[in-house]
Amino acid sequence: MESSHTAPSAGAAHQEHASVHTYLRVAVVLAILTAIEIGALYVPGLPPHILVTLIIIFGTMKFALVVAFFMHLRYDSKLLTALFVGPLMIATLIILAIMALFGSYLLLPRT
Partner 1 sequence: MAAEHAAVAHDPNIGCTGLDHRKMGMWAFLGSECMFFGSLIGTYLAYKGKSISGPGPHQILNIPLTSVSAFVLLMSSLLMVLALAAVQRGDMKWAKIWLFLTATLGAAFVGFQCFEFTHFVHLGLTLQTNLFGSSFFVLTGFHGAHVTGGVIWLLSMWWLAMRGRLGPQDSLKVEICGLYWHFVDIVWIVIFALIYLIP
Query: What's the one-letter identity of residue 39?
Result: G
Cα atoms found within 13 Å of the Cα of residue 59, Cβ hemisphere only:
8
86-89 long-range CB contacts below 8 Å, 24 or more apart?
none
Q: Tell whether residue 111 is a contact of partner 1 (CB under 8 A).
A: no
Taking CB under 8 A as the rule, does residue 79 contact partner 1?
yes
For the bound state, the minimum distance from the C-beta of residue 91 to partner 1, rounded and expressed in Å, comes to: 3
| Residue 99, phi then psi, degrees to nearest 5 | -65, -40
Per CB under 8 A, residues contacting partner 1 are 1-6, 8-14, 17-18, 20, 23-24, 26-27, 30-31, 34, 37-38, 41, 48, 51-52, 55-56, 58-59, 62-63, 66-67, 69-72, 77, 79-80, 83-84, 86-88, 90-92, 94-99, 101-102, 104, 106, 110
